[in-house]
Amino acid sequence: MGLARSQPTDNTPEQQLEMQNHQLERQIYKGYLMHQRLFALKIAHARELFFWIAAFYVSSSAALLAGYRKTKRPLILAPILPMTFILAYQGDLAYGSKLVRIKGEAENIMSFEKELLELPHNVPTVGGIDEAREKAKDEGSFNRAHDIFL
């Protein structure tokens, strides 16, 4: 196992570049697989939540209908309306095409509205981070010296 690594390698730059490209492709593919797993986890979570919401909806609707039969007041049935929308939304997310529509909208934003995705003050650079650190360090030392003499 250690023998392969301990032998000297006489790789040409082309072979090294090919190996680096292969490693990069593997890393990209591993990232893609991780994305798929996380997306599957999100779908599974939505489906599990749908089952819980559906059970709550059925039990609370039964209780509200029983209360309506007893009192004959239609206002008791009012909570069923928003619960229906919540259940429908979660069902569409779990089993419908909601996730496809969300992905489509995200692709539209990435294609046509790139300005919404930009970070404020652009992408941070190493130089900018170092400058901010030095500035904070200088201000911190000034404040300490100022506090000592007051």
pLDDT digits (tens, 9 = 90+) for 73-123: 999 999 999 999 999 999 999 999 999 999 999 999 999 998 888 878 777
pTM of the model: 0.64
Cα distances (Å, whole numbers) of residue 84 to 13, 30, 56: 64, 40, 11
Render pLDDT for 11-45 as a digit per residue (tens, 0 to 9). 788 999 999 999 999 999 999 999 999 999 999 99
CA-CA distance, 19 to 94, in Å (whole number)?
A: 42
Map out the domains of the chain as residue ranges. Answer: 12-118
Q: How many other CB atoms are there within 10 angstroms of residue 44's CB atom?
A: 11
